[in-house]
Chains A and B, each alone.
Chain A
Amino acid sequence: MTSRYMPENWALPALDDRNRAFFTSGRIALQECAKCGTVQHPPEEICHACQGLEFTIREVEGRGTIHSYIVVHHAANHALRYRVPYAVVLIALEDQPAVRIVGNLLNIASEQIQIGMPVRAVWEEIEVDGEILRLPQWEVIEGRHGN
């Protein structure tokens, strides 16, 4: 995928050691404590369960449900003037129900969005400043929505 849901000149993550896997791997790559296995999202500097300082990456299925959503009508700044209205969704992961991920829904109109719809992850590939980002986004799984 090459085009973005948000405008081409809109904000992107600045990569660092903690978020690189999530924003470049093309998988739902979460932070996992190397000592006790606790999964934390967004990634933290220390494990909130055992105060461990070493982390590994846990890759999970890119499947979940819509936990909440908003439809933005007021452009919070200039760069979004021609993008409104747009929807932002909050996804609860099937494999890690305590983890919620913010994204956009690429395959249905905002008026059709309902809490509880099953979704799968897709990736927006964006080249910026010599880096390839793979931004997780979401699609409603066809044939399973509307209930």
Chain B
Amino acid sequence: MYRQAAVAGVGESTYYLRGSSPHSAFQLACLAIRSAVEDAGLELRQIDGLVSYLEPLVVPPKLAAALGFEHLDFSAQTWGWGGNGVASAIAIADAAVTASYAKHVVVYRALRQTEKERFGRSAAVPRVRGDYAYTAPYGLVTAAQVGAMQTRRFMHEHRIGQEALAEVALASYAHAQHNPRALKRGKPLTRAMYHESRWIAEPFHVYDCCQENDGAAAVVVTTLERARDLRKRPVPIIAAAQGLDHRDGLGAFNEPRFPTAHYRRVGELLWQRAGVRASDIDVAQFYENFTGCVLMAIAELGFCEAGDVEGFVSNENIQWPTGRLPINTSGGNLAEAYVHGFENVNEAVRQVRGESTCQVDDVDLSLSVSAPGYAPGSAVLFCRH
């Protein structure tokens, strides 16, 4: 329900370079949850719900046992490929507390990226199935390559240049320089460095692609009424949305609206539910899996026409403190840490509280947008009152 639930606490573990966490994903999740619960001024035993997304390892029954929850009355996770489910997970927690299925729901995500299975390394020729059979044999196997294919077409259709992609990376890196949690703090990015950096898959340079990190983050969601009695000022969830147009989740680039970030329907629902427009938003966090996909999400959510997106992000328009719409003010996936986008939710909440290290003045509406390019998309909007 709209404006009836709120975030009462935010927390995270220390963020680490990939493979360098001394703790397991489960341990990192416990540390982040403890930190969020403490921030809310609650006791761990009072938490009675757990929600996540694409979380195969860190499961609620074990978390609840480890952390001393008296009861686990609600647990769920959202469908989707991954980062596109961040805001949907917040929406599930909102629904759970407003429908009284639980009182205090923690939403969390923990990552510890170790050596992955190396596809194609065996002597025998690997055989691939499903939609993957139509892409992998041609050498298209990674998320960056998928995002690059979408972005190339988007750039072509709307006459968007490489500078537009650079702007997104430059904003995240500029903001990370102020954030003590950010792994790219002390490593500023210049426009020249961006253009001279190696290609991953054209049109993506290395700086267009998110980091890979170890870490965990969490928030506590409860009713706005309950949150008012807790330690920190509550941050109301004005609205959240998950959405997808017919057949737009199809494989191998056969979505009817290709190239799409899957945010057209999300925008339609979000603005209608919240009763505000894109132009009313004070600060926004856009999940940067890849810079080009962020540009597509900006346009589909109605911040500008697709053809105007390069102008929208240029001239430090998306950079704190002078920009018209500062985005990714903690450094985001590119420069704070890749916690599967959850760090962007924490930052959106901190912007409403006045706790950001790139604090925008007088924030009333603070948006967090989940991963673009994977179906369905989702977004959550926080407000001051």
Contacts and interface: CB of A to CB of B under 8 A. Distances in A.
Interface of A: 5-6, 8-14, 16, 19, 22-23, 41-42, 48, 67-74, 76-80, 83, 85-86, 88, 90, 98-104, 115, 128-129, 135
Contacts of A22: 134
A10 B129 contact: no
Nearest to A19: B133
Given A102-B252, A102-B253, A68 B156 contact: yes
B46 interface: no
B192 interface: no
Nearest to A10: B120
Nearest to B258: A100
Nearest to B117: A77
Contact of B138 (A74, A77, A103): A103
Contacts, number: 140
B142 A12 contact: no
A77 B247 CA distance: 31
A101 to B, nearest CB: 7
- Of listed A13, A86, A135, residue having the most chain B CB within 10 A: A13
A103 B135 CA distance: 8
B261 to A, nearest CB: 15
Contact of A9 (B125, B138, B250): B125
A41 B252 contact: yes
Interface string B113-127: 000001111010111
B156 A14 contact: no
Contacts of A99: 254
B198 A128 contact: no
B138 A104 contact: yes
A14 B126 CA distance: 9
B259 A100 contact: no
B202 interface: yes
A-B CB proximity, top 8 nearest: A14-B127, A13-B133, A79-B120, A68-B153, A73-B199, A71-B202, A70-B148, A74-B200
B204 to A, nearest CB: 8
Given A85-B199, A135-B137, 14 more contacts: A10-B139, A11-B126, A12-B125, A13-B137, A14-B127, A19-B134, A68-B149, A74-B199, A74-B206, A79-B121, A80-B139, A90-B149, A103-B138, A104-B138
A68 B259 contact: yes
A78 to B, nearest CB: 5
19 contacts: A11-B125, A12-B128, A13-B129, A14-B127, A14-B128, A41-B134, A42-B131, A42-B252, A68-B150, A68-B156, A71-B199, A72-B139, A77-B120, A77-B121, A78-B120, A88-B139, A88-B145, A99-B254, A103-B138
Interface residues of B, number: 46
A48 B247 contact: yes
A6 B149 contact: no
A102 B152 contact: no
B140 interface: yes
Contacts of B119: 11, 77
B276 interface: no
B67 to A, nearest CB: 37
B54 interface: no
B145 A70 contact: yes
Interface of B: 118-121, 123, 125-131, 133-142, 144-145, 148-150, 152-153, 156, 198-203, 206, 247, 250-254, 256, 258-259
Given A9-B125, A12-B128, A70-B149, A101 B156 contact: no
B149 A12 contact: no
Nearest to A72: B201
Given A70-B145, A104-B138, A115-B156, A11 B120 contact: yes
Given A14-B133, A103-B138, A135-B137, A42 B254 contact: yes
B303 to A, nearest CB: 24
Contacts of B251: 42
B129 A9 contact: no
Contacts of A23: 133
B150 to A, nearest CB: 8
Given A68-B259, A88-B145, A128-B125, A73 B200 contact: yes
A10 B137 contact: yes
